[in-house]
């Protein structure tokens, strides 16, 4: 039997997906430049990883988070 779920869809929003993608790209770039022994770019990717949640928070405040005014399920 199937049951209808009333789960709010945690993390299924533009804000959360953007945050995750930014952090994944930052860690991937940081790993590459760590292997290439380029310290400046490793630190730049670390800064990008820190900016990921900031961008997510800004998008959430702008209404792109779960239940926000710019989402389908608000």
Q: What's the pLDDT tens digit per position in 48-63?
A: 999 999 999 999 999 9
End-to-end CA distance of the chain: 28
Q: What's the pLDDT tens digit per position in 17-73?
A: 999 999 999 999 999 999 999 999 999 999 999 999 999 999 999 998 888 888 776
Domain ranges in the chain? 14-64
- Looking from the CA of 47 toward its CB, the CA atoms found within 13 Å total 6
* pTM for the predicted model, two decimal places: 0.80
φ/ψ of 61, rounded to 5, equals -65, -25
């Amino acid at each position: 039997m199937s049951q209808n779920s009333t789960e709010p869809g945690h993390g299924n929003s533009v804000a959360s997906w953007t945050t995750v993608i930014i952090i994944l790209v930052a860690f991937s770039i940081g790993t590459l430049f760590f292997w290439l022994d380029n310290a400046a770019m490793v630190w730049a990717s670390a800064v990008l990883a820190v900016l990921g949640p900031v961008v997510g928070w800004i998008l959430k405040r702008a209404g792109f988070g779960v239940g926000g005014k710019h989402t389908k399920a608000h």
